[in-house]
Structure 1
Amino acid sequence: MLLGLVLLLAWDGGGLDLPLARLAGSAQGFAWRDSAALVFWLHAVPRWISSAGLLALFAGALRPWDWQRGWPARDRWQLVGAIALAMVSVTVIKRLSASSCPWDMAEFGGVAQYVSHWVWGVRDGGAGHCFPAGHASAAFGYVAGWFVLRRRVPRLAAPWLAAAMALGLVLGLAQQLRGAHFMSHTLWSAWVCWCVGLAWEAIAQRGACSRASAAAATKLNRS
């Protein structure tokens, strides 16, 4: 988590967002902004699949799927809850952010001036609400489920994490091509989702330790 934070701060400090955005955009805007293929296959479809996956995990929390047999209910709820909370967290931060999207920038045919998303309280003249990347969290949110999977289904944990990260980056790159996000928006989205999963796991493990201690104390008292 800390290594990711350092790398993200280095990315922001290096000012790498605009140079990358210029590879896809110009004063005339972003040529791929209204691409039917990107809008449908890498925007609409992934959201449908992500929502369907979340609903399936919710159903599994109520009645476990075959691969969840033997899981305590709290772990099944952690899997779906951490993923949902990660997505919601990104959305909440995005709603509070004053940062606008690349396609809103004057440099790319819009009206806003580029302002770092770390300059709180300063409006850039655009619509805002673009940081971090909400769309990429449709995949990155599943990163938060890795923590419980590594305990319960280790063979599934690594492929799960790799797929969530890879798909999140693909969705982020698609939005970058369309001018909907800077790359830092995508990277911060991944980091937020990771932190949510880690926090839930830490709380869950602390609760497990407390329950084990209480059970041991009860057993000792009975002895």
Structure 2
Amino acid sequence: MNFLSSHIKYVYDPTDYASEPSEKYIEYCQDTKEVLFVDMNPGPFGMCQTGVPFGDTEWVKNWLGIEGKIDKPLPECSARPVDGFKCTKKEQSGHRFWSLFSDLCHKPEKFFWHAFLYNYCPLAFMDSNGRNITPSGTKKKELVFYCDQYFMKTIDVLQPQIIIGIGRYTEKRLQSIVRRRNRTNKIEVLYLKHPGRPVRNNRSWHRNTKRILDKRDLLKYFQ
């Protein structure tokens, strides 16, 4: 499907041009999961570079142990080049997310025993100047339809008990999906503040997130 429009000039699909590291990440998901974290869509210095959700290059290489060949998206926006694992810009979201679970789990395998992180939408959208356009900002109803259908299948495969929407838009879409599934198994949707949002420091986001996990008795899966 073509999502280009008068304001959407570039569409990146890192699961395509960064398929090798993306598939290595998926290999961490070998079974059903109790907890499913869901981000909105790829960020310019994270998944757009490495093919991994919240894919800050250092955390992907050094903690998740993932590397691989990365091609260029076509067309590529000159203001948002894909440098792959040579990208030197930090992704704050990825740094905060993976550093928290590194502290809790010590090794990535422990995180993935019970949980997984995935995106509601696998695509990134930009205007002619490389400014990010969120899925809601695309104003494409068909995009929401396909992402909802895609994520219903993801839920059916992973069978999570808890889904944590990272950011309000993602939480809203997940609540809608869960309501429409008409399954007997009850799935709870929780909200988590996006790690890319401004906070005083990393510890502040870590502290708030651990408080939410503890309140829902979810820390047991990561310690």
Normalised-by-shorter TM-score class: under 0.3
From the two aligned structures, give the one with the greater strand fraction: 2
Tell me the TM-score normalized by structure 2: 0.26
From the two aligned structures, give the one with the greater helix fraction: 1
Larger Rg: 1
